[in-house]
């Protein structure tokens, strides 16, 4: 179904279309594209950003040692929610040397889900560190691989030093319902954060 | 697309379509949505091959900057320059230039996204 169809009769009077973005972060091979693909209405697409001296301002080639140009690929999906509302899911480039791209990806996002693979739990330190130092609401989602050792959520929280106010959930990135739940958690967390920030800014909390 | 063996080639060729310009007229977000009416597509026919391809991608279905880059197989930076030009020239309609600012507007957007997800 294509809700975003442009009505030719409505032409330029057509309603504004709003888009929102949720970021899916995590180490290389943790299942980001699988997660996006499980819920996206389109097969995940890839867009390439070219890191060159010409990309200054957006991309910082100085952080890619020994290379003048390189291509950073990011995968993303789309969920058309209404005629005037589209949700995009953006996966971050897995390799940590492409972190400078993350700033562009997270700008204006609703929130993020950091995917963790319990077989390679240390891969999660760097992405978690990144979000710890940004003002973007995020949740941590353990992607349950079949052959992965089983840990209780609280063990993982402790091992990764995830702050108590950051939601931690378990998921299967291959399954739509499970992915949906992760995204719902991201948005709910973002709403709580926004409400809390709003409450702090005013003497009488609203709502 | 031919393979990019020479890194300088990879640099020169993509930005050749923007006549070497690397700074967009406005910094359009990855997820910002663009649409194109049949009239605009017809006008884009005279704006060059790459702009016409972009207009065609957006005809009948609003697309984000990221989708336009993916479907046209152009690097993101190049696409952003061309799309910003097309918005300025009236060949594309830019919908969401920035996320909402105020508390009520942001809560409203989050609420809509939340119910949209729950309805999936």
Rounded to 5 degrees, what are φ and ψ at A13? -85, -5
Which of the two residues, A175 and B3, has the higher pLDDT score?
A175
Beta strands in A64-161 (DSSP E): 70-82, 85-91, 111-117, 138-143
Over residues A5-16, the pLDDT tens digits come to 544 444 444 578
For chain A, the domains span 16-201
The class of domain A16-201 in CATH terms is: alpha beta
pLDDT of B3 > 90? The answer is: no
pLDDT of B11 > 60? The answer is: no
- Check if the beta carbon of residue A156 is closer than 8 Å to that of residue A121: yes
pLDDT of residue A201: 72
Spatial neighbors of B49 by CB under 8 A, at least 6 apart, are none
Residue B3 touches chain A, beta carbons under 8 Å: no
Q: What percent of chain A has pLDDT over 70?
A: 79
Instruction: Give the model's confidence band at B5: pLDDT under 50 very low, under 70 low, under 90 confident, else very high.
Output: low
CA–CA distance, A139 with A112 (Å, rounded to integer) = 6
Nearest by CB: B96 against A18, A47, A87? A18
Nearest by CB: B110 against A48, A108, A190? A190
Section B5-16 average pLDDT:
58
Distance of residue B95 Cα from the nearest chain A Cα, in angstroms: 6
Section A21-29 average pLDDT:
92
pLDDT of A2 > 60? The answer is: no
Are B61 and A2 an interchain contact pair (Cβ–Cβ within 8 Å)? yes
Instruction: Give the model's confidence band at B2: pLDDT under 50 very low, under 70 low, under 90 confident, else very high.
Output: very low
- Has the ipTM of the complex gone over 0.90? no
Which chain A residues are closer than 8 Å to B71 by Cβ? 45
Residue A50 touches chain B, beta carbons under 8 Å: yes
Over residues B46-102, the pLDDT tens digits come to 999 999 999 999 998 999 999 999 999 999 999 999 999 999 999 999 997 677 889
Section A48-76 average pLDDT:
61
- Check if the beta carbon of residue A141 is closer than 8 Å to that of residue A113: yes
pLDDT of residue A190: 97
Looking at the DSSP bridge assignments, the partners of residue A70 are A51
pLDDT of residue A99: 75
Q: Is A113 helix (H, G, I), strand (E, B) or coil?
A: strand
Nearest by CB: B116 against A87, A107, A198? A87
In chain A, the residue whose alpha carbon lies closest to the alpha carbon of B10 is A69
Instruction: Give the model's confidence band at A68: pLDDT under 50 very low, under 70 low, under 90 confident, else very high.
Output: low
- Check if the beta carbon of residue B69 is closer than 8 Å to that of residue B75: yes
pLDDT of residue A85: 95
Section A143-163 average pLDDT:
91
pLDDT of residue A37: 97
What's the burial of A145, exposed, middle or buried (CB within 10 Å: 0-12/13-18/19+)? middle
Residue A200 touches chain B, beta carbons under 8 Å: no
CB atoms within 10 A of CB A5: 13
Distance of residue A163 Cα from the nearest chain B Cα, in angstroms: 23
Of all helices (H) and strands (E), which one includes residue A170?
strand A168-171
């Amino acid at each position: 179904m294509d809700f975003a169809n442009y009505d030719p009769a409505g032409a330029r009077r057509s309603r504004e279309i709003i888009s929102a973005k949720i970021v899916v972060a995590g180490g290389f091979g943790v299942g980001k594209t699988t997660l996006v693909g499980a819920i996206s209405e389109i097969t995940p697409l890839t867009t390439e950003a070219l890191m060159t001296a010409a990309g200054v301002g957006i991309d910082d080639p100085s952080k890619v040692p020994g290379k003048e140009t390189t291509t950073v690929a990011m995968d993303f999906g789309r969920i058309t929610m209404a005629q005037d509302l589209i949700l995009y899911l953006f996966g971050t480039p897995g390799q940590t040397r492409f972190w400078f791209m993350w700033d562009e990806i997270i700008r204006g996002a609703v929130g993020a889900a950091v995917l963790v693979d319990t077989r390679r739990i240390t891969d999660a330190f760097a992405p978690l560190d990144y979000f710890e130092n940004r003002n973007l609401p995020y949740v941590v989602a353990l992607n349950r691989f079949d052959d992965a050792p089983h840990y209780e959520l609280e063990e993982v929280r402790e091992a990764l030093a995830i702050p108590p106010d950051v939601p931690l959930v378990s998921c299967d990135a291959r399954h739509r319902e499970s992915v949906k739940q992760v995204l719902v958690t991201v948005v709910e967390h973002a709403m709580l954060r926004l409400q809390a920030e709003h409450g702090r800014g005013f003497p009488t909390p609203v709502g | 697309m031919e393979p990019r063996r020479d890194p300088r080639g990879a640099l020169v060729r993509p930005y050749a379509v923007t006549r070497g310009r690397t700074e967009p007229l406005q910094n359009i977000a990855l997820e910002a949505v663009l649409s194109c009416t049949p009239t605009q597509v017809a006008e884009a026919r005279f704006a060059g091959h790459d702009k016409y391809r972009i207009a065609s991608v957006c005809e009948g279905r609003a697309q984000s900057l990221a989708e336009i880059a993916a479907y046209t197989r152009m690097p993101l930076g190049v696409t952003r320059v061309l799309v910003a030009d097309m918005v300025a020239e009236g060949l594309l309609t830019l919908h969401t230039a920035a996320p909402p600012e105020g508390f009520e507007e942001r809560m409203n957007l989050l609420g809509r996204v939340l119910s949209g997800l729950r309805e999936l």
